[in-house]
Homo-oligomer: A and B are copies of this chain.
Amino acid sequence: MDEPLGAGPTRHASDRGRYGQLSRERVLASALELVDREGLGALSMRRLGGELGVEAMALYRYASSKDALLDGLVEALHLELEERLAAEPGGPAADAAPAWRSGLHRVARTMYDVCLTHPQAVPLLATRMLAVPLARRPAAVLRHHERVLALLAEAGFDEADASAAFRAFTAWLLGYVSVELQPMVDNPEESDPAFRLGLHRIPPQALPRLRRTAPALAERGGAEGLTAGLDALLDRFTAHDRTAR
Q: Which residues of A line the B interface, CB within 8 A?
A: 123, 126-127, 130-136, 142-143, 145-146, 149-150, 153, 159-160, 162-164, 166-168, 170-176, 178-180, 182-183, 185-187, 196-202, 207-210, 212-214, 216-217, 219, 221, 225, 228-229, 231-233, 235-236, 239, 243-245
Contacts and interface: CB of A to CB of B under 8 A. Distances in A.
Secondary structure of the A contact surface, majority rule? helix
27 contacts: A133-B183, A133-B186, A133-B198, A134-B183, A134-B198, A134-B210, A136-B198, A142-B207, A143-B207, A146-B208, A149-B210, A159-B212, A160-B216, A163-B213, A163-B216, A164-B221, A166-B213, A167-B225, A168-B225, A171-B179, A171-B180, A172-B229, A173-B175, A229-B233, A229-B236, A232-B236, A235-B244
- Residue from A196, A208, A209, A228 having most chain B Cβ neighbours under 10 A: A209
A229 B236 CA distance: 7
B163 A219 contact: yes
Contact of A217 (B134, B199, B239): B134
Given A127-B126, A166-B217, A176-B171, A153 B209 contact: yes
A221 B167 contact: yes
Nearest to A174: B175
